[in-house]
Structure 1
Amino acid sequence: MSVTAAGVCHTDLHIREGGYDLGHGRKLEFSKRGIALPLVMGHETVGEVVAAGPDVGTLDRGKKYVVYPWIGCGTCAICASGQEQLCMKPQFLGMHVDGGYATQIRVPHPKYLHEIGDIPPENAAPLACSGLTAYAALKKVEGTLKDHALLVIGAGGLGLMCAQLLQALGAKAPVFVDIDPVKRASALAAGACAAVDPRAADAVAQIHAAAGEAPLAAIDFVGAEATAGLGFDALGKGGTYVIVGLFGGAAPWALPLIAVRALTIRGSYTGSPGEFAELMQLARNGAIKPIPTTCYKLDEAEDVLNSLAGGKIVGRAILAGV
């Protein structure tokens, strides 16, 4: 495929750094987990088909497609169950094989291509990770969304995409938390009922007041020790805390309180091919408003990653016209 737009994701920073911070002085090193660096990053990719193998069949080369990047081995029981993103022998684009920070990308099968229709490429590209990851996390707490305000931690690209999806799903307006006042303003513009500074001494009380109760569900798109502590403290009894972000660190919770408060703590690692198909249907129908995007040239990728690391990107950065 010829690449039209490639999203820049926070996960790319971890790839550049070589792993995840596990806390207590430990690190998950990608080099020991089947990721051989260097490689071409980029797992949010839109492009056009320029060549195909003999067994592919007919593909419209005049259309643009967004690529599902969370590709598994295709033969194990997990892949057969439709959960390729959880495969133990992953072939994720931009993580295990070369991705979309390039002029061209190779995709192993046409089933991973989804037409974008009238969606601008720079808006379609983030759906492959930012959109899908937020959508899959929401599916894990969907039973609470109509009647209870969701607590969303982090108003970056994932958080803002979550806000748009909540509106598309007819959910109650969420409460956002972010340390950046610019990002808090973006969350309010995206439909949040409140945006709280987590550094405030009464942050938990502000969250409860805005939600009208202690939230029954929280999605943490940061995944740091500080956000994990705040999200845990803010949840009501019987609540569910979904960790998506990979900022790093160790869990700060007192173990007895998990049982006493009957809390569910679960991880969410992007989404399945089926969930991506559902998301793309919503997007093509116009149900999802685009998040703020800024386009850059391919040779600006390193500068963009540095800006992302410094928290200077609002919404999603896109390498376009590559």
Structure 2
Amino acid sequence: MKSFKVLEFNEPLGEVDEQTPQPTGTQVLIRVKAAGVCHSDLHIWEGGYELGHGRKKLSLKDRGITLPRTMGHETVGEVIAFGPDAEQEAGGVKIGDIALAYPWIGCGKCAVCLTGDENLCLAPRCLGVHCDGGYSDHLLVPHPRYLIDLKGMDPVIAAPYACSGVTTYSALKKIESDLGNPIVIFGAGGLGLMALELLKAMGGKGAIVVDIDAKKREAAIKAGALAAVDGNAPDALAQLSQAAGQPILSVIDLVGTPSTTQLGFDVLSKGGKLIMVGLFGGGATWALPLIAMKALTIQGSYVGNLRETKELLELVRTKKVQPIPTTPMPLAKANAALNDLKDGKLVGRAILTPA
């Protein structure tokens, strides 16, 4: 089995050849067909997150992320073997099926997991984060229930639904009652373009997209954005208000920098909601009295649960959601894909294709 692993934080991924594992217990072995390269992988690769305001960097090592680690949480693969306790529980997947691996796995036993929100578990076992993921030609999935049959969907197109797809879908669900009005989305990368497509499928009126990259703003307009605004423009706030033509009640920040959160906060009308998704890093600069005076809600949204992932794939099938731009790359180009993402050269998603 060939994998590209984080051997040391901030160092190039190492190519590792090892024995292909055999599934035990309820595990399922898949042969990887596609693995998305996500911005979250950059934080894992770099070893942490900037918290701003002079705070110590949030260390992934201190949070239990051990090395070596094979990243990759947007993975599609062919089911090739079941552990002895998994065959009887295979349920919806069988040998030869092409399936999306749900990565946001919890302990499976706590109250949070038992309600179906494994993505919020305090003892996570997430694929590509706490356990090895899809930057490999094979992947062990702990239980068949985490595999969703793609029913003919292209693996390269489907892989991003495991993260950028369900992340944006879950964020949009949190403002579902306001989708009949223009919303504001910060970021026109893979997440932003995915959000625009899902917004249309969910019957939303549309979104005004904010991005400092002209090419990404152009991509957002092509994807159906109502307007695209340069976040660095001195009159960005006025442009957003003019483009909306009415009070703005919902903002989704897929970037997560001090400047995006501040502009998102400022543009909201009374009773508005700011959904924080992006993990770029830094600290907030909001005027605290205005949170109460404007009765604002600031809510975090972290990926999505298994139920939402299944809902998302059904939405994609029934509404014929257009895929985001993807750039297939051989597994051997894993380091190049990460560097392209870090340098802002990618529009949409790079997808590693081992097979």
In structure 1, how many angstroms separate the alpha carbons of the residues matched to 2:346 and 2:319? 25
In structure 1, how many angstroms separate the alpha carbons of the residues matched to 2:317 and 2:152? 7
What TM-score comes out, normalization by structure 1 length? Answer: 0.98
* Contact residue 22 and residue 28 of structure 1 kept, 8 A: yes
User: Which of 121, 143, 151 is the matching residue for 2:177?
Assistant: 143
Q: Which is worse superposed, 99-108 or 49-58? A: 49-58
- The CA RMSD measured in Å over matched residues stands at 0.9
* Contact residue 190 and residue 347 of structure 2 kept, 8 A: yes
1:256 aligns to 2:289 (yes or no): yes
Q: Which is worse superposed, 283-292 or 148-157? A: 283-292
* Contact residue 74 and residue 84 of structure 1 kept, 8 A: yes
Deviations 1:141-189 (A, max 9, x none): 000001x101000000000000000010110011000000100011011
**Aligned equivalent of 1:62:** 96
Taking the TM superposition and a 5 Å limit, the aligned residue runs for 1:1-322 are 1-25=30-54, 26-56=56-86, 57=88, 58=90, 59-146=93-180, 148-322=181-355
Q: Secondary structure at the match of 1:318?
A: strand
Could you tell me how far 1:289 is from its partner in structure 2?
A: 1.0
* Contact residue 5 and residue 121 of structure 1 kept, 8 A: yes
* Contact residue 252 and residue 276 of structure 2 kept, 8 A: yes
Q: Secondary structure at the match of 2:106?
A: coil
Could you tell me how far 1:206 is from its partner in structure 2?
A: 0.7
Deviations 1:33-77 (A, max 9, x none): 111022000000000111101222344222210010000000111
Q: Work out the number of aligned pairs and report it.
A: 321
* Contact residue 136 and residue 354 of structure 2 kept, 8 A: no
Q: Where do 5+ consecutive residues of structure 2 fail to align? A: 1-29
Q: Which has the higher strand share?
A: 2
What TM-score comes out, normalization by structure 2 length? Answer: 0.89
* Contact residue 201 and residue 319 of structure 2 kept, 8 A: no
* Contact residue 36 and residue 72 of structure 2 kept, 8 A: yes
In structure 2, give the amino acid aligned to 1:249.
Answer: G
Could you tell me how far 1:286 is from its partner in structure 2?
A: 4.5
Q: Secondary structure at the match of 1:151?
A: strand
* Contact residue 117 and residue 284 of structure 1 kept, 8 A: no
In structure 2, give the amino acid aligned to 1:40.
Answer: T
Identity %: 55
Q: Which is worse superposed, 30-39 or 175-184? A: 30-39
Deviations 1:210-260 (A, max 9, x none): 111231000000000110111011111110000000000001101001111
Could you tell me how far 1:284 is from its partner in structure 2?
A: 2.6
